[in-house]
Structure 1
Amino acid sequence: MNKKRKICIVACAVLAMETTKNKKKKRHIWQKKWLAEREKYSHMSLLRELRDNDPGDFKNYLRMESNTFDELLSLMRPYLSKQDTAMRQSIPADERLIATLRFLATGRSYEDLKFTTGISAQALGRIIPETCKALYEVLHKDYLKMPSSEDDWRIVDEGFNSQWQIPNCGDAIDGKHIRIFPPPNTGALYYNYKNFYSIVLMAIVNAEYEFLYVDVGKNGRLSDGGVLGYTTFFRHLISDRLYLPHITETTANLNFVFIGDEAFALHDHILKPFSQRDHTHERRLYNYRLSRGRNVVENVFGLIAARFQILHTPINVAVLKVCYFIMAICVLHNFLKRKARSYVSGNALDSVNATSHEINYNAEW
């Protein structure tokens, strides 16, 4: 085959590929009729009925009472409202927020959720991550704030000392593995020691069972201590930029500390349990007190898993979107903890018996 013929064949092949690439796929229909009539077929009519006549089911559906939902919607409406176009009306802010809350509460797929929301799976794939990102950006300013002064840290310490008898304590630290489907071309990067793929939620929790700091997205192969080392919190801690109380102003002139489990490295401001070998009475007592205080972060992880069941199954979206989901859950937890009295029931949290000083463990999960 001569050179000119080869060039001609290649040119024809390239032209054929470009023609196929540029050929537009014909739409069978522009929009399905039942999706176009969303108001008629979606769950919005049911929610109005539940709001008026069955508030308990309304709360179970969205994980919050109607008045709490109204307050949340008023905060989010400016960030969720979209302009109508000449082609169609935009999806209202309340429907965007409801679809997102229902997604987080159930963990249902977009394809499944479209039948109750009346919103296409493709639109849900854009709306839900956008709404989760907006929830974090709006709520974290008031509902997920690290202490920024010595006085703020002393308030945190008072809560821990009075409830768990641990003086000079900032908070409890722990990590939670969030199940995901492995991203393409990442091999075993996200495969953890528990034998599933995950990203890590690193959290710092106060005595009021609220998140003070979260870091989401590090791959599951890292240990909790390894994840902590990559966080902004740890960089500020080792560079003395957390504004912790000075040693001269603490109880017994001891370091102000955070408490964690065996996965964390010992540090001037991080306490961990003694190993299980060669225990003395004093070491057993220390480990017992430390584990009691650490229960706050374990309780919070249990709470969010019970309230937001998307955490029960692997999440099959891009890692960045998973991060948006988890950050939204964390700020929603803090928001609901403060605003909705029924969000946390009396038997959902651990407590200490005032007489025996033993822990009354939660019975909800």
Structure 2
Amino acid sequence: MSHHADHLVGRIGTSQEVIKGLDSRQMILDLPTPPEKQHAHLRQIRPLPPSLCALTVAQNTITYIVPETCRAIVTAYRDEELEVPQTPAAWQEVARGFEEWWNFPHVTGAKDGKHIRLCNPSQGGMHYFNYKKFYYMILLAIADASYKFLYVDVGAIGSESDVGVFVQTYLGEMLLKQEANLSQPEALLGQAKGSPLDYFLVGDDALPLWNYLKKPFPQRAFPRRNTLYNSRLSRVRRTVENTFRILAKKFQVFHTAICLKPDCVKTLVLATCILHNIIIRKSARRQEGDQELPTKHAIIPGSWRSDLCLIAALPTVIINTATRDAKEQRNILKEYFSSP
């Protein structure tokens, strides 16, 4: 982990530079912060009370350093680490990853939404209060086959629905307007005479069925072909679920309510997603997430599943409607997976 911290410190500057905006009453760090403490600031993104005890830095200083460090990370890395593919070739590269690792064609990302639990925000009223009787902020994300975040939107109030949030995001609007620059529809491999199939995201059965968003068949209609399709789609969806769990394993701040202002929570969540991507990109290991054996199609559970605390962390957000064309495209995939 230390080499990742070294890279970050070199990119965003020392903690002394990060806190240069403090007023004279708060300027208690006259000497440059030693490297071991710089690393500690980056590694201890956890609920603030334990952090304050662990870092041996004054409370008024650390409560400024953590948000400012997160802001510096977001400023330095957001366009680089959370950049949505902009060209058909870039989307196809994502799709190749899903086909290689999960044997599912035309997938440009796995989508899901999670609740980030908050302490009751000052003057927040009921805006962040949801049906589970907690205060939440929604983290909406799309992950690729290697457990990296392709797209992140955080900050929607907890009472809003997943799809309601998604269609208001930049990527959601681009997809609805057919301006996301996805690859052109193509027939599936081995089905040259078949109908062309759009490139699409995958999600759970709480989502609507659209041309660019595929979901499972409902459980009330379960012939064998539907079961095969649902099984394959469920395996692909593991990527975003695993991505969230790996994130929560690395950053324990997600294990409990975050006691910061909503704007600071947004910045902190974005920073952790960026750090997650940096670690995944610089690591050749995939053991943290589930893997599929290509020959037997068996699933090897990821290492995050050994942490029982993660099962309850980041609860899922829960809407629906489908177009006729989207249903026809789902049937094309069903026949594809059922064919010899």
Common fold, TM-score beyond 0.5? Answer: yes
The percentage of counterpart residues that share the same residue type is 34
Structure 2 CA distance for aligned equivalents of residues 196 and 115 of structure 1: 27
RMSD: 2.5
Match of 1:154 among 52, 77, 92: 92
In structure 2, the residue corresponding to 1:325 is in which secondary structure? helix
In structure 2, the residue corresponding to 1:173 is in which secondary structure? strand
The answer on whether the counterparts of 1:179 and 1:311 sit within 8 Å (CA) in structure 2 is: yes
| Aligned residue type for 2:62 | L
Match of 1:219 among 133, 136, 157: 157
In structure 1, the residue corresponding to 2:48 is in which secondary structure? coil
Alignment of 1:292 onto 2:235:
yes
Q: CA deviation at 1:364?
A: 3.1
Q: CA deviation at 1:114?
A: 3.8
Structure 2 CA distance for aligned equivalents of residues 127 and 350 of structure 1: 35
Match of 2:133 among 195, 204, 219: 195
Structure 2 CA distance for aligned equivalents of residues 244 and 270 of structure 1: 13
Q: CA deviation at 1:164?
A: 1.0
Pairing 1:1-365 to 2, within 5 Å after superposition: 64-65=1-2, 67-77=3-13, 80=18, 82=20, 89-90=29-30, 92=32, 94=35, 97-104=38-45, 106-109=46-49, 112-248=50-186, 253-340=196-283, 346=287, 348-365=288-305
In structure 2, the residue corresponding to 1:364 is in which secondary structure? helix
Structure 1 CA distance for aligned equivalents of residues 130 and 76 of structure 2: 32
Structure 1 CA distance for aligned equivalents of residues 98 and 76 of structure 2: 28
**CA separation of 1:222/1:356 partners in 2, compared to 1, >3 Å: closer, same or farther?**
same
Name the count of aligned residue pairs: 295
In structure 1, the residue corresponding to 2:139 is in which secondary structure? strand
TM-score after normalising by structure 1:
0.74
| Aligned residue type for 1:177 | H
Structure 2 CA distance for aligned equivalents of residues 85 and 176 of structure 1: 37
Name the counterpart of 1:10: none
User: Is the helix fraction higher in 1 or 2?
Assistant: 1
Deviates more, 1:86-95 or 1:219-228: 86-95
The answer on whether the counterparts of 2:293 and 2:299 sit within 8 Å (CA) in structure 1 is: yes
Deviates more, 1:178-187 or 1:161-170: 178-187
In structure 1, the residue corresponding to 2:13 is in which secondary structure? helix
**CA separation of 1:130/1:250 partners in 2, compared to 1, >3 Å: closer, same or farther?**
farther
Name the counterpart of 1:49: none
Q: Deviations over 1:31-86 (max 9, x none)?
A: xxxxxxxxxxxxxxxxxxxxxxxxxxxxxxxxx13x22212211111763738998
The answer on whether the counterparts of 2:155 and 2:262 sit within 8 Å (CA) in structure 1 is: yes
In structure 1, the residue corresponding to 2:207 is in which secondary structure? coil
Structure 2 CA distance for aligned equivalents of residues 194 and 107 of structure 1: 21
**Structure number with bigger Rg:** 1
**CA separation of 1:340/1:91 partners in 2, compared to 1, >3 Å: closer, same or farther?**
farther
Q: Select the structure with the greater relative contact order (CA < 8 A; seq sep ≥ 6).
A: 2
Structure 2 CA distance for aligned equivalents of residues 318 and 85 of structure 1: 20
Q: CA deviation at 1:166?
A: 1.2
Structure 2 CA distance for aligned equivalents of residues 213 and 90 of structure 1: 39
Structure 1 CA distance for aligned equivalents of residues 37 and 180 of structure 2: 37
Q: CA deviation at 1:250?
A: 6.9
Q: Mark the runs of 5 or more structure 1 residues left unpaired by the alignment.
A: 1-63
**CA separation of 1:135/1:95 partners in 2, compared to 1, >3 Å: closer, same or farther?**
farther
Structure 1 CA distance for aligned equivalents of residues 31 and 277 of structure 2: 27
